[in-house]
Structure 1
Amino acid sequence: MKIACLLVSLLLSVCIQAQQNRTPWSNKMVESHGLVDFYCNTHHQDMLGTTGWDYVSGLVANAVLKAWEAYPEKTAYYQAVKDFADFSLDEDGSFIKDPEGKSALRPSNIDDYPAGRIYFTLYKEELRKGNTKDANRYRTAATLIRNTLKYHHSRIAPGLPGSGGFFHKAIYPDQMWLDGLYMGSPIYAEWQHYFSDTTSAANQQQSWDDITCQFKTIHQYTYNAEAQLNYHAWSANPTDANSFWANRNAPFLGASKEFWGRGMGWYFAALADVLEYLPKTHKDYAAVLKIYHQVAEGLSKRQDKASGVWYQLLAYNAATRADGKGDKVAGKTFNVGTQPNYLEASCSAIFTYAYLKGIRLGLLDSKKYLPVAAKAYDGLLKTFIREKENKTDIIQICASAGLGPAKDPSRTGTINYYLAGKDVTITQNEGKAIGTFIMASVEYENYLKRK
């Protein structure tokens, strides 16, 4: 441990000196692909300020806003995020629209909520400036999202295991995915932190109970204590046609089959982000913190020793490949290929963010996890970042991954799917890696400033 700490100190000393002599990596990525020229899955976006409502563009916007908070002289960063917010918001903040003018908050679609996390910082800043009209718009919009989630989002019904858990989407009934914990819980927790003074004490208590219930539920059904990892998703009704990918037998009844990197990344970041606001006096604080520690411990053991980053499928290394035979579902064959497991940028970036944030907040032991985080950040730069002329690119990104529904039997949740699935392509400059890299960089740069 002493040797590891010494190496980290030397690495940080070099980084601090380098930081003083160059543009911060967060700024490079914001200016290369945060404000302009990025992808939401496979859809190219020219400018952040005119990009429609989406969890990917929202992630990029939130990351750019974090960069502005760290570098407030970069006023263009703030303006781009404000433009993004205003592009989809009506005059009084009571309606968030998609590019076709319809509601961007589709029925029980948990991916539609996290872009609203930008509203809290925008609210504070516009209020500081005396712009109460826009501040109130952002507060109204944040409240719309929170209330839609809390009161109208479909949940696992009483009588089923995991009762009260949020559906991932309406098309995935009775399913919870690790991804969904990041999409719903942090904005719910931030609203409780900033605006719950408008609700009763009983409502506040019930809301925090609701938030912690989501983590306790999904962890109970997806955590494999032997592997120290969480399966990507879980269905409370594994015999449902939309849950054809789910285990039908104990001990992981209803769970999917593999440990997907970005899914665990969303989960790890959600834990860090919610613990920032969850009152320490809450009855479930210790339970949620324990889950966070379990995730941190498990992921540290899966960090690639050579590169410092993580694989697409966390339980394997590059020796694992799609088997060339594919998956048979209802007499048809899908996911045929021999692609190898690979080091993946978005999960590696979001893990790095969640470690560094946990260290900053005092949630994680810095002596134990700073070596992990420092090696990871160095690995991000060496493995995934490429500079050409005046552009900073990020490569080796999993474009997308999911499970089902019944109408899409190719999304099987197998090794073959995560490596050779038609939608699980490897791309570059995609928002899920751009945003998480900016967030990890801001945390790292702020750490160096404190040294």
Structure 2
Amino acid sequence: VLENDNRYFEKAWQMYAHTRNVQGGKGLWNPADGLWWRDAAFCPPYKEPNGEDCYWSRGNGWVYATYVRVLDILPAKEAHRKAYLKDFKAMSAALKAVQREDGFWNVSLHDPNHFGGKETTGTALFVYGMAWGIRHGILPEKEYLPVITKAWNALATQAVHENGFLGFVQGTGKEPKDGQPVTYDSMPDFEDYGLGCFLLAGSEIYKLDATL
């Protein structure tokens, strides 16, 4: 964008396509589930205790937020924009389907009993992406606004302490079992994981609220 040079967009697509379709043998994106494996170590045959594939919440949150950052700057007629949008929409639907009743998402998106419970970082990143998608007319408001409303209310009322401390933040790791236990009072070894995600979510909720 800064250089007005499409070679940067092409290089970004090449790296994305390699990660999506090649890394680990067949790529880290599972189109059947609309979610991402964290890295090649978690591709099949790796399974969660319930036999499902391992989709780590914050890992998927990083990808989801990256769609927002990339699509925000891609020109409308950029060659690969439609492909990014297709994956963003597929991932949005997959995430909506596995939201917890309390508004949060579990650390393991397909195994709610594997360290299941409220978790802030993944939840906040999903709110960020969905709110952005609604605001830009990419995701249907009627379908996704209830999802992020429930999630944001959960974050704001159940994760934030009176002194501003943020609870339910999983610490450093690469999979559901890391950084446990994740509780309202537990202090992660690197709390910025939660603060940055929470602020991203809040910024998009604020912008969206101004348009409704």
Q: Kindly state the Cα deviation for residue 215 of structure 1 after the two structures are TM-superposed.
A: 2.7
Aligned to 1:362: 137
- The question of 1:432 aligning with 2:193 is answered yes
Q: Kindly state the Cα deviation for residue 341 of structure 1 after the two structures are TM-superposed.
A: 2.3
Instruction: Name the TM-score, length of structure 2 as normaliser.
Output: 0.82
- The question of 1:400 aligning with 2:172 is answered yes
Aligned to 1:372: 147
Q: Kindly state the Cα deviation for residue 432 of structure 1 after the two structures are TM-superposed.
A: 1.3
Q: Tell me, in whole angstroms, the C-alpha distance in 1 between the residues paired with 2:17 and 2:147.
A: 26
Q: Tell me, in whole angstroms, the C-alpha distance in 2 between the residues paired with 1:246 and 1:450.
A: 40
CA distances 1:158-212 after superposition (whole Å, capped 9, x unpaired): xxxxxxxxxxxxxxxxxxxxxxxxxxxxxxxxxxx2x214xxxxxx222101112
- The question of 1:383 aligning with 2:179 is answered no
Structure with more strand by fraction: 1
Q: Tell me, in whole angstroms, the C-alpha distance in 2 between the residues paired with 1:279 and 1:247.
A: 33
Given that residues 28 and 36 in structure 2 are in contact (C-alpha distance below 8 angstroms), is that contact kept between their aligned partners in structure 1?
yes
- The amino acid across from 1:226 in the alignment is A
Q: Tell me, in whole angstroms, the C-alpha distance in 1 between the residues paired with 2:81 and 2:211.
A: 28
RMSD between aligned residues: 2.3
Q: Tell me, in whole angstroms, the C-alpha distance in 1 between the residues paired with 2:93 and 2:195.
A: 25
How many aligned residue pairs are there?
196
- The question of 1:298 aligning with 2:94 is answered yes
Q: Tell me, in whole angstroms, the C-alpha distance in 1 between the residues paired with 2:39 and 2:12.
A: 18
Q: Tell me, in whole angstroms, the C-alpha distance in 2 between the residues paired with 1:206 and 1:299.
A: 32
- State percent identity of aligned pairs: 22
Given that residues 393 and 428 in structure 1 are in contact (C-alpha distance below 8 angstroms), is that contact kept between their aligned partners in structure 2?
no
- The amino acid across from 2:109 in the alignment is L
Q: Which has the larger radius of gyration?
A: 1
- The question of 1:258 aligning with 2:38 is answered no
CA distances 1:203-234 after superposition (whole Å, capped 9, x unpaired): x2221011122333323312223333211113
Q: Tell me, in whole angstroms, the C-alpha distance in 1 between the residues paired with 2:116 and 2:171.
A: 15
Given that residues 34 and 87 in structure 2 are in contact (C-alpha distance below 8 angstroms), is that contact kept between their aligned partners in structure 1?
no
Aligned to 2:72: 276
Aligned to 2:49: none
Q: Kindly state the Cα deviation for residue 290 of structure 1 after the two structures are TM-superposed.
A: 0.4
Q: 1:229 to 1:246 in 2, by over 3 A?
A: closer
Q: Tell me, in whole angstroms, the C-alpha distance in 2 between the residues paired with 1:435 and 1:379.
A: 17
Aligned to 1:289: 85
Partner secondary structure for residue 349 of structure 1: helix
Q: How does 1:166-205 map to 2 (within 5 A)?
A: 193=1, 195-197=2-4, 204-205=5-6
- The amino acid across from 2:205 in the alignment is Y
Partner secondary structure for residue 288 of structure 1: helix
Q: Which consecutive unaligned segments of at least 5 residues does structure 1 have?
A: 1-192, 198-203, 235-244, 250-256, 321-339, 403-412
Following TM superposition, the consecutive aligned residue runs of length 4 or more in structure 1 with deviations greater than 4 angstroms are: 246-249
Aligned to 1:101: none
Q: Kindly state the Cα deviation for residue 365 of structure 1 after the two structures are TM-superposed.
A: 2.1
